[in-house]
Amino acid sequence: MVLTYKQGYLPQPFHIKHITTKFSSLPLRFSLKLQGQPKLRVVKMSATEVTNSTISYESFAIKPPLHPTYDLKGIIKLALAEDAGDRGDITCLATIPFDMEAEAYFLAKEDGIVAGIALAEMIFNEVDPSLKVEWSKKDGDLVHKGIQFGKVYGRAHNIVVAERVVLNFMQRMSGIATLTKAMAKAASPAYILETRKTAPCLRLLDKWAVIIGGGRNHRMGLFDMVMIKDNHISTAGGVTNALKAVDLYLEKNSLQLEVETRTLEEVEEVLHYASQTKTSLTRIMLDNMVVPLPNGDVDISMLKEAVQLVNGRFETEASGNVTIDTVHQIGQSGVTYISSGSLTHSVKALDISLKIDTELALKVGRRTGRA
Protein backbone atom coordinates (compact mmCIF):
# COMPACT_ATOMS: atom_id res chain seq x y z
CA MET A 1 0.00 0.00 0.00
CA VAL A 2 1.32 3.41 -0.95
CA LEU A 3 -0.19 6.52 0.60
CA THR A 4 1.26 9.97 0.03
CA TYR A 5 0.01 13.00 1.92
CA LYS A 6 1.03 15.87 -0.30
CA GLN A 7 0.02 18.58 2.17
CA GLY A 8 1.00 16.68 5.29
CA TYR A 9 -2.28 16.67 7.18
CA LEU A 10 -5.41 14.66 7.68
CA PRO A 11 -8.65 16.52 6.94
CA GLN A 12 -10.44 18.22 9.78
CA PRO A 13 -14.22 18.06 9.87
CA PHE A 14 -15.68 20.18 7.09
CA HIS A 15 -18.99 21.55 5.93
CA ILE A 16 -20.39 21.42 2.41
CA LYS A 17 -20.75 25.07 1.50
CA HIS A 18 -22.04 24.84 -2.04
CA ILE A 19 -22.94 22.09 -4.45
CA THR A 20 -23.61 22.32 -8.16
CA THR A 21 -24.21 19.48 -10.57
CA LYS A 22 -23.99 19.24 -14.30
CA PHE A 23 -25.43 15.85 -15.24
CA SER A 24 -25.62 16.43 -18.97
CA SER A 25 -21.88 16.10 -19.30
CA LEU A 26 -20.38 15.67 -15.82
CA PRO A 27 -18.14 16.80 -14.07
CA LEU A 28 -19.76 17.18 -10.72
CA ARG A 29 -18.13 20.00 -8.74
CA PHE A 30 -18.17 20.35 -4.98
CA SER A 31 -16.98 23.45 -3.19
CA LEU A 32 -15.88 22.58 0.32
CA LYS A 33 -14.96 24.75 3.25
CA LEU A 34 -12.59 22.98 5.63
CA GLN A 35 -12.55 24.11 9.24
CA GLY A 36 -9.40 26.07 9.87
CA GLN A 37 -8.90 26.60 6.14
CA PRO A 38 -9.99 30.02 4.83
CA LYS A 39 -10.04 29.02 1.18
CA LEU A 40 -12.50 26.82 -0.66
CA ARG A 41 -11.41 23.62 -2.33
CA VAL A 42 -13.07 22.50 -5.53
CA VAL A 43 -13.39 18.73 -5.82
CA LYS A 44 -13.89 17.50 -9.38
CA MET A 45 -15.42 14.09 -9.84
CA SER A 46 -14.63 14.33 -13.52
CA ALA A 47 -12.23 16.58 -15.31
CA THR A 48 -13.44 15.46 -18.71
CA GLU A 49 -16.15 17.34 -20.55
CA VAL A 50 -17.22 15.45 -23.63
CA THR A 51 -19.19 16.96 -26.45
CA ASN A 52 -18.54 14.16 -28.94
CA SER A 53 -19.49 10.63 -27.89
CA THR A 54 -17.47 9.01 -30.68
CA ILE A 55 -14.95 6.57 -29.21
CA SER A 56 -11.93 5.03 -30.89
CA TYR A 57 -11.77 1.31 -30.16
CA GLU A 58 -8.51 0.69 -32.00
CA SER A 59 -6.50 0.14 -28.81
CA PHE A 60 -8.98 -2.35 -27.35
CA ALA A 61 -7.82 -5.97 -27.23
CA ILE A 62 -11.35 -7.08 -28.14
CA LYS A 63 -13.59 -4.46 -29.71
CA PRO A 64 -17.26 -4.08 -28.76
CA PRO A 65 -20.00 -4.85 -31.29
CA LEU A 66 -21.28 -2.00 -33.42
CA HIS A 67 -24.51 -0.16 -32.70
CA PRO A 68 -25.70 2.89 -34.66
CA THR A 69 -27.13 4.85 -31.71
CA TYR A 70 -25.59 3.43 -28.54
CA ASP A 71 -23.73 6.04 -26.48
CA LEU A 72 -21.16 4.19 -24.40
CA LYS A 73 -19.79 7.37 -22.86
CA GLY A 74 -23.35 8.35 -22.01
CA ILE A 75 -23.85 5.05 -20.15
CA ILE A 76 -20.66 5.67 -18.17
CA LYS A 77 -21.80 9.20 -17.29
CA LEU A 78 -25.23 7.94 -16.28
CA ALA A 79 -23.74 5.25 -14.03
CA LEU A 80 -21.46 7.77 -12.32
CA ALA A 81 -24.30 10.26 -11.91
CA GLU A 82 -26.53 7.50 -10.51
CA ASP A 83 -23.91 6.83 -7.83
CA ALA A 84 -23.07 10.48 -7.11
CA GLY A 85 -26.62 11.79 -6.85
CA ASP A 86 -26.71 15.50 -6.15
CA ARG A 87 -23.98 15.51 -3.48
CA GLY A 88 -21.20 13.24 -4.70
CA ASP A 89 -19.36 10.73 -2.52
CA ILE A 90 -20.01 12.28 0.87
CA THR A 91 -17.98 9.59 2.68
CA CYS A 92 -14.92 10.35 0.55
CA LEU A 93 -15.43 14.04 1.08
CA ALA A 94 -15.47 13.43 4.84
CA THR A 95 -12.55 11.00 5.12
CA ILE A 96 -10.09 11.32 2.25
CA PRO A 97 -8.04 14.46 1.57
CA PHE A 98 -8.45 15.26 -2.10
CA ASP A 99 -4.70 15.55 -2.66
CA MET A 100 -3.83 12.22 -1.05
CA GLU A 101 -2.49 9.64 -3.50
CA ALA A 102 -2.79 5.86 -3.33
CA GLU A 103 -2.43 2.63 -5.27
CA ALA A 104 -5.35 0.23 -5.50
CA TYR A 105 -5.11 -3.31 -6.83
CA PHE A 106 -7.64 -5.44 -8.69
CA LEU A 107 -8.00 -8.75 -6.90
CA ALA A 108 -9.69 -11.86 -8.33
CA LYS A 109 -11.62 -13.73 -5.66
CA GLU A 110 -12.51 -16.67 -7.90
CA ASP A 111 -11.35 -18.23 -11.15
CA GLY A 112 -12.87 -16.87 -14.33
CA ILE A 113 -12.52 -14.93 -17.54
CA VAL A 114 -11.90 -11.25 -16.94
CA ALA A 115 -13.88 -8.77 -19.04
CA GLY A 116 -14.42 -5.03 -18.85
CA ILE A 117 -10.78 -3.96 -18.61
CA ALA A 118 -11.08 -1.55 -21.54
CA LEU A 119 -14.33 -0.20 -20.10
CA ALA A 120 -12.72 0.26 -16.66
CA GLU A 121 -10.05 2.44 -18.23
CA MET A 122 -12.75 4.60 -19.81
CA ILE A 123 -14.50 5.01 -16.44
CA PHE A 124 -11.32 5.96 -14.60
CA ASN A 125 -10.52 8.45 -17.36
CA GLU A 126 -14.00 9.94 -17.07
CA VAL A 127 -13.64 10.41 -13.32
CA ASP A 128 -10.05 11.67 -13.43
CA PRO A 129 -7.83 11.60 -16.56
CA SER A 130 -4.72 11.82 -14.36
CA LEU A 131 -5.34 8.34 -12.88
CA LYS A 132 -2.87 5.75 -14.18
CA VAL A 133 -4.01 2.19 -14.82
CA GLU A 134 -1.79 -0.84 -15.42
CA TRP A 135 -2.82 -4.43 -16.14
CA SER A 136 -1.08 -7.79 -16.13
CA LYS A 137 -4.09 -9.35 -17.90
CA LYS A 138 -6.23 -8.32 -20.85
CA ASP A 139 -9.90 -8.80 -21.69
CA GLY A 140 -10.55 -12.50 -22.31
CA ASP A 141 -7.71 -13.80 -20.12
CA LEU A 142 -8.19 -16.34 -17.36
CA VAL A 143 -7.65 -15.06 -13.83
CA HIS A 144 -7.20 -17.30 -10.82
CA LYS A 145 -8.52 -16.82 -7.31
CA GLY A 146 -6.19 -14.68 -5.21
CA ILE A 147 -4.17 -13.02 -7.98
CA GLN A 148 -3.72 -9.29 -8.49
CA PHE A 149 -4.21 -8.55 -12.16
CA GLY A 150 -4.16 -4.76 -12.37
CA LYS A 151 -3.69 -1.54 -10.45
CA VAL A 152 -4.76 2.07 -10.55
CA TYR A 153 -2.84 4.87 -8.88
CA GLY A 154 -3.37 8.56 -8.38
CA ARG A 155 -5.75 10.57 -6.21
CA ALA A 156 -7.29 8.21 -3.67
CA HIS A 157 -10.53 10.19 -3.59
CA ASN A 158 -11.14 9.67 -7.30
CA ILE A 159 -10.13 6.00 -7.22
CA VAL A 160 -12.76 5.33 -4.56
CA VAL A 161 -15.37 7.40 -6.43
CA ALA A 162 -14.86 5.25 -9.54
CA GLU A 163 -14.48 1.94 -7.69
CA ARG A 164 -18.08 0.74 -7.45
CA VAL A 165 -19.07 1.70 -10.99
CA VAL A 166 -15.95 0.01 -12.40
CA LEU A 167 -16.58 -3.16 -10.41
CA ASN A 168 -20.30 -3.28 -11.19
CA PHE A 169 -19.51 -3.34 -14.90
CA MET A 170 -16.46 -5.61 -14.67
CA GLN A 171 -18.10 -8.19 -12.42
CA ARG A 172 -21.16 -8.49 -14.66
CA MET A 173 -19.14 -8.60 -17.88
CA SER A 174 -16.67 -11.11 -16.41
CA GLY A 175 -19.53 -13.34 -15.24
CA ILE A 176 -20.99 -13.35 -18.75
CA ALA A 177 -17.59 -13.99 -20.33
CA THR A 178 -16.85 -16.84 -17.93
CA LEU A 179 -20.11 -18.68 -18.66
CA THR A 180 -19.77 -17.99 -22.38
CA LYS A 181 -16.28 -19.50 -22.45
CA ALA A 182 -17.52 -22.68 -20.78
CA MET A 183 -20.58 -22.98 -23.04
CA ALA A 184 -18.66 -22.17 -26.22
CA LYS A 185 -16.16 -24.93 -25.43
CA ALA A 186 -18.92 -27.42 -24.68
CA ALA A 187 -21.01 -26.46 -27.74
CA SER A 188 -18.24 -27.09 -30.29
CA PRO A 189 -18.43 -27.61 -33.24
CA ALA A 190 -21.54 -25.41 -33.01
CA TYR A 191 -21.10 -21.72 -32.19
CA ILE A 192 -22.70 -20.24 -29.07
CA LEU A 193 -24.85 -17.09 -29.34
CA GLU A 194 -26.56 -14.85 -26.81
CA THR A 195 -30.05 -13.39 -27.36
CA ARG A 196 -31.76 -10.05 -26.74
CA LYS A 197 -32.43 -11.08 -23.13
CA THR A 198 -29.97 -8.51 -21.83
CA ALA A 199 -30.13 -5.94 -19.04
CA PRO A 200 -31.98 -2.87 -20.35
CA CYS A 201 -29.53 -0.21 -21.53
CA LEU A 202 -26.56 -2.57 -21.03
CA ARG A 203 -27.03 -4.62 -24.19
CA LEU A 204 -23.85 -3.53 -25.93
CA LEU A 205 -21.83 -4.32 -22.81
CA ASP A 206 -23.52 -7.71 -22.34
CA LYS A 207 -22.89 -8.62 -25.97
CA TRP A 208 -19.33 -7.31 -25.76
CA ALA A 209 -18.75 -9.67 -22.83
CA VAL A 210 -20.03 -12.59 -24.92
CA ILE A 211 -17.44 -11.81 -27.60
CA ILE A 212 -14.73 -11.54 -24.94
CA GLY A 213 -15.77 -14.97 -23.67
CA GLY A 214 -15.39 -16.56 -27.09
CA GLY A 215 -19.03 -16.56 -28.20
CA ARG A 216 -20.61 -14.88 -31.19
CA ASN A 217 -23.27 -12.19 -31.28
CA HIS A 218 -26.83 -12.71 -32.43
CA ARG A 219 -28.61 -9.64 -33.81
CA MET A 220 -28.00 -6.47 -31.83
CA GLY A 221 -31.65 -5.43 -31.84
CA LEU A 222 -34.79 -5.18 -33.92
CA PHE A 223 -33.08 -3.15 -36.63
CA ASP A 224 -30.17 -5.20 -37.96
CA MET A 225 -31.70 -8.56 -38.87
CA VAL A 226 -35.16 -9.73 -39.87
CA MET A 227 -36.19 -12.47 -37.49
CA ILE A 228 -39.63 -13.98 -38.02
CA LYS A 229 -40.78 -15.37 -34.67
CA ASP A 230 -43.91 -17.08 -33.40
CA ASN A 231 -46.01 -13.94 -32.96
CA HIS A 232 -45.14 -12.71 -36.46
CA ILE A 233 -46.12 -16.09 -37.90
CA SER A 234 -49.39 -16.17 -35.97
CA THR A 235 -50.43 -12.67 -37.03
CA ALA A 236 -49.31 -13.20 -40.65
CA GLY A 237 -51.37 -16.39 -40.93
CA GLY A 238 -48.56 -18.91 -41.20
CA VAL A 239 -44.90 -19.36 -42.02
CA THR A 240 -45.30 -19.05 -45.78
CA ASN A 241 -47.29 -15.81 -45.56
CA ALA A 242 -44.73 -14.31 -43.21
CA LEU A 243 -41.82 -15.27 -45.50
CA LYS A 244 -43.58 -13.85 -48.56
CA ALA A 245 -44.18 -10.54 -46.77
CA VAL A 246 -40.57 -10.27 -45.62
CA ASP A 247 -39.14 -11.17 -49.03
CA LEU A 248 -41.27 -8.42 -50.55
CA TYR A 249 -40.00 -5.98 -47.92
CA LEU A 250 -36.39 -7.01 -48.48
CA GLU A 251 -36.52 -6.26 -52.19
CA LYS A 252 -35.51 -2.73 -51.18
CA ASN A 253 -33.53 -3.62 -48.03
CA SER A 254 -30.44 -5.77 -47.75
CA LEU A 255 -30.65 -7.66 -44.47
CA GLN A 256 -30.23 -11.20 -43.21
CA LEU A 257 -33.40 -13.17 -42.63
CA GLU A 258 -34.06 -15.85 -40.03
CA VAL A 259 -37.31 -17.69 -39.44
CA GLU A 260 -38.35 -19.56 -36.32
CA THR A 261 -39.81 -23.04 -36.69
CA ARG A 262 -41.44 -25.02 -33.91
CA THR A 263 -42.34 -28.29 -35.61
CA LEU A 264 -40.93 -30.51 -38.32
CA GLU A 265 -43.94 -29.57 -40.43
CA GLU A 266 -42.96 -25.90 -40.24
CA VAL A 267 -39.39 -26.79 -41.24
CA GLU A 268 -40.74 -28.65 -44.29
CA GLU A 269 -43.00 -25.69 -45.13
CA VAL A 270 -40.05 -23.30 -45.04
CA LEU A 271 -37.95 -25.59 -47.22
CA HIS A 272 -40.79 -26.00 -49.70
CA TYR A 273 -41.27 -22.23 -49.93
CA ALA A 274 -37.52 -21.70 -50.44
CA SER A 275 -37.42 -24.31 -53.20
CA GLN A 276 -40.20 -22.54 -55.10
CA THR A 277 -39.27 -18.89 -54.55
CA LYS A 278 -36.22 -16.66 -54.56
CA THR A 279 -35.80 -15.76 -50.89
CA SER A 280 -33.50 -13.79 -48.62
CA LEU A 281 -33.68 -16.55 -46.00
CA THR A 282 -30.27 -17.36 -44.47
CA ARG A 283 -31.03 -19.20 -41.23
CA ILE A 284 -33.71 -21.44 -39.75
CA MET A 285 -34.24 -21.43 -36.01
CA LEU A 286 -35.22 -24.80 -34.58
CA ASP A 287 -37.04 -23.72 -31.45
CA ASN A 288 -37.70 -25.98 -28.48
CA MET A 289 -36.82 -29.11 -30.42
CA VAL A 290 -34.65 -30.16 -27.49
CA VAL A 291 -36.97 -32.08 -25.18
CA PRO A 292 -36.12 -32.32 -21.45
CA LEU A 293 -36.37 -35.78 -19.90
CA PRO A 294 -37.39 -36.61 -16.31
CA ASN A 295 -33.87 -37.79 -15.48
CA GLY A 296 -32.40 -34.39 -16.34
CA ASP A 297 -31.11 -35.50 -19.75
CA VAL A 298 -32.46 -34.20 -23.06
CA ASP A 299 -33.84 -35.86 -26.18
CA ILE A 300 -32.37 -34.25 -29.32
CA SER A 301 -33.85 -36.68 -31.85
CA MET A 302 -36.32 -34.10 -33.20
CA LEU A 303 -33.53 -31.52 -33.49
CA LYS A 304 -31.36 -34.00 -35.39
CA GLU A 305 -34.19 -34.82 -37.77
CA ALA A 306 -34.75 -31.13 -38.46
CA VAL A 307 -31.05 -30.59 -39.18
CA GLN A 308 -31.13 -33.53 -41.59
CA LEU A 309 -34.18 -32.05 -43.36
CA VAL A 310 -32.37 -28.74 -43.87
CA ASN A 311 -29.32 -30.67 -45.08
CA GLY A 312 -26.99 -27.67 -45.20
CA ARG A 313 -29.21 -25.53 -47.43
CA PHE A 314 -29.42 -22.92 -44.68
CA GLU A 315 -27.72 -22.19 -41.39
CA THR A 316 -29.52 -23.72 -38.43
CA GLU A 317 -29.89 -22.47 -34.89
CA ALA A 318 -31.02 -24.48 -31.88
CA SER A 319 -32.91 -22.57 -29.20
CA GLY A 320 -34.64 -23.58 -25.99
CA ASN A 321 -33.59 -25.78 -23.06
CA VAL A 322 -29.95 -24.80 -23.54
CA THR A 323 -27.86 -24.98 -20.36
CA ILE A 324 -24.25 -25.66 -19.50
CA ASP A 325 -25.33 -29.29 -18.87
CA THR A 326 -27.17 -29.78 -22.19
CA VAL A 327 -25.20 -27.64 -24.63
CA HIS A 328 -22.60 -30.30 -25.47
CA GLN A 329 -25.23 -32.83 -26.51
CA ILE A 330 -27.06 -30.17 -28.54
CA GLY A 331 -23.81 -29.22 -30.25
CA GLN A 332 -23.42 -32.78 -31.53
CA SER A 333 -26.70 -32.55 -33.47
CA GLY A 334 -25.14 -30.81 -36.46
CA VAL A 335 -26.65 -27.35 -35.87
CA THR A 336 -24.63 -24.32 -36.91
CA TYR A 337 -25.47 -22.17 -33.89
CA ILE A 338 -26.87 -22.59 -30.40
CA SER A 339 -28.47 -19.55 -28.77
CA SER A 340 -28.96 -19.20 -25.04
CA GLY A 341 -30.61 -16.37 -23.14
CA SER A 342 -29.03 -17.65 -19.93
CA LEU A 343 -25.68 -16.13 -20.94
CA THR A 344 -27.04 -12.68 -20.13
CA HIS A 345 -30.40 -12.94 -18.33
CA SER A 346 -29.15 -15.01 -15.39
CA VAL A 347 -25.70 -13.58 -14.86
CA LYS A 348 -23.60 -14.72 -11.91
CA ALA A 349 -21.12 -11.92 -11.35
CA LEU A 350 -17.46 -12.86 -11.08
CA ASP A 351 -16.13 -11.88 -7.65
CA ILE A 352 -13.56 -9.10 -8.19
CA SER A 353 -12.50 -6.39 -5.76
CA LEU A 354 -10.40 -3.23 -5.86
CA LYS A 355 -8.36 -2.73 -2.69
CA ILE A 356 -5.91 -0.11 -1.51
CA ASP A 357 -4.74 -2.32 1.37
CA THR A 358 -4.27 -5.55 -0.56
CA GLU A 359 -2.44 -7.36 2.25
CA LEU A 360 -5.38 -6.94 4.60
CA ALA A 361 -7.84 -7.81 1.82
CA LEU A 362 -6.04 -11.10 1.19
CA LYS A 363 -5.99 -11.87 4.91
CA VAL A 364 -9.74 -11.32 5.17
CA GLY A 365 -10.26 -13.22 1.92
CA ARG A 366 -8.41 -16.26 3.23
CA ARG A 367 -10.46 -16.13 6.41
CA THR A 368 -13.71 -16.11 4.45
CA GLY A 369 -12.56 -18.44 1.67
CA ARG A 370 -12.83 -15.68 -0.97
CA ALA A 371 -9.15 -15.24 -1.81
Active-site option among 89, 103, 287, 351: 287
What type of residue sits at position 316? T
State phi, psi for 180 to the nearest 5 degrees: -60, -45
- Asked about 151 being catalytic, the answer comes back as no
Active-site option among 219, 229, 244, 262: 229
Task: Say if residues 116 and 209 touch (Cβ distance below 8 Å).
Answer: yes
Active-site option among 29, 138, 145, 164: 164
Task: Give the span between the Cα atoms of 45 and 31, in whole angstroms.
Answer: 12
- Asked about 244 being catalytic, the answer comes back as no
Active-site option among 128, 260, 317, 351: 260
Active-site option among 197, 216, 304, 370: 197
- Asked about 260 being catalytic, the answer comes back as yes
Q: Among 123, 210, 192, 230, which Cα is nearest to 335's?
A: 192
Sign of CA dihedral 271, 272, 273, 279: positive
- Asked about 137 being catalytic, the answer comes back as no
Could you say which DSSP state residue 216 is in?
B
- Asked about 224 being catalytic, the answer comes back as no
For 2-52, give the DSSP string. -EE-SSS-PPPPEEEEEEE--TTT---EEEEEETT--SEEEEES-----S-
Return the SS3 of 241.
helix
Task: Say if residues 12 and 36 touch (Cβ distance below 8 Å).
Answer: yes
**Catalytic amino acids?**
164, 197, 229, 260, 287
